[in-house]
Amino acid sequence: MTLKNQHVLTASQFSEADLAAVFMYADAMQKRPDTRGLLAGRTLACVFYEPSTRTSSSFIAAMTKLGGGVIPITQGVQFSSVSKGETLEDTITTLGQYADAIVLRHPETGAVARAAAVSPVPVINAGDGIGEHPSQALLDLYTIKQETGRTENLKVAFVGDLAHGRTVHSLIRLLNRYPGNEFHLISPWLLRLDRTGGDSPLYEEVRGKVAQTYHVKAGLQEAIGAIEQADVVYMTRVQKERFIDAEGYAEVKDSCLLNPELVSCMKPSARILHPLPRVNEIPTVIDADPRAAYFRQVRAGLHVRMALLSLVLGV
């Protein structure tokens, strides 16, 4: 398996064989009654320099269910030697002496790759600033496959903070590989995907599959054409913590809110996904709609992360 002993840094690195293996293992993890022997005696360090609920706890739950142990540095690095001025490189080199793999979240784009460069063990990117979040993309794609039955010929509406949303940056790269997929990009102008530049001109990579771009001003109804046609509506939170000014955030924070009326225009077979946490972009009244798949997506995250850990740690 090509994932064995590999760092997991970007969604672009997965071969088709890797994706097939992750999905096959995730299916198996769901069905297997006893997974506790699979990674017995192995240790995972979970190091989070940014807040997390789902990513950290699902990696911890996944490792535990596989029989392994966890070094959790998830309660704030203020309790680790980082608060004494230790560099990321030294922290990672140290943890690599105890752990068989490291899951790392960091506020700087590229920091996880920097960590991987010095790490003696595989490093899994659990979100690097506005860069990528590849394990989330795996679980998002797995959920899409489970919910719609396919990974190709999908019309996918990406909604919200496309500039800062690292889950979007990874998922769109994965979906870009499959034939017939078509992207509808819905955001305020300030949060458009083609603002994501730097070393990784993501928009250029995926533009061949961009069917339509909406720069909404007053609300999501301006993009009703895309909502009506979509097989998947991928909602995201406006990433308040990435703004340098409160005014900029205030201007766009309510620009892409879903409501029951918009959902009633969606196809019955369509699905709403969200990496979570949500703020106000999906009112809770929508949760009972069978098209709301975001909590099933959370559940899938456990099985996909069990699969990923098994493959990287080489069961």
| Site membership for ligand NCD, residue 145 (CB under 6 A) | no
With CA atoms as reference, report the closest residue to 183 among 208, 157, 163, 159.
157
Distance of alpha carbon 165 from alpha carbon 215, whole angstroms: 16
* Known catalytic residue at 192: no
* Known catalytic residue at 91: no
Distance of alpha carbon 222 from alpha carbon 167, whole angstroms: 24
Distance of alpha carbon 300 from alpha carbon 145, whole angstroms: 11
| Site membership for ligand NCD, residue 215 (CB under 6 A) | no
Distance of alpha carbon 58 from alpha carbon 304, whole angstroms: 10
| Site membership for ligand NCD, residue 275 (CB under 6 A) | yes
**Partners of 73 in the β-ladder:** 47
Q: Judged by CB under 6 A, which of 32, 54, 207, 291 binds ligand NCD? A: 54
Place of tokens 């990513």: 55
| Site membership for ligand NCD, residue 166 (CB under 6 A) | yes
| Cα 251 to Cα 243, 255, 282, distances in angstroms | 11, 8, 18
Q: Supply the minimum distance, in Å, between the C-beta of residue 166 and ligand NCD.
A: 5
Catalytic residue among 7, 65, 105, 303: 105
Contacts (Cβ under 8 Å, ≥6 apart) of 114: 88, 89
Q: Could you give phi then psi for residue 75, rounded to 5 degrees?
A: -95, 20
| Site membership for ligand NCD, residue 56 (CB under 6 A) | no
Q: Judged by CB under 6 A, which of 136, 170, 213, 297 binds ligand NCD? A: 136
Q: Supply the minimum distance, in Å, between the C-beta of residue 136 and ligand NCD.
A: 5
Q: Supply the minimum distance, in Å, between the C-beta of residue 237 and ligand NCD.
A: 4
- Would you say 32 or 54 has its CB closer to ligand NCD? 54
| Site membership for ligand NCD, residue 155 (CB under 6 A) | no
Contact set with ligand NCD (CB under 6 A): 54-55, 127, 133, 136, 166-167, 237, 239, 275-276
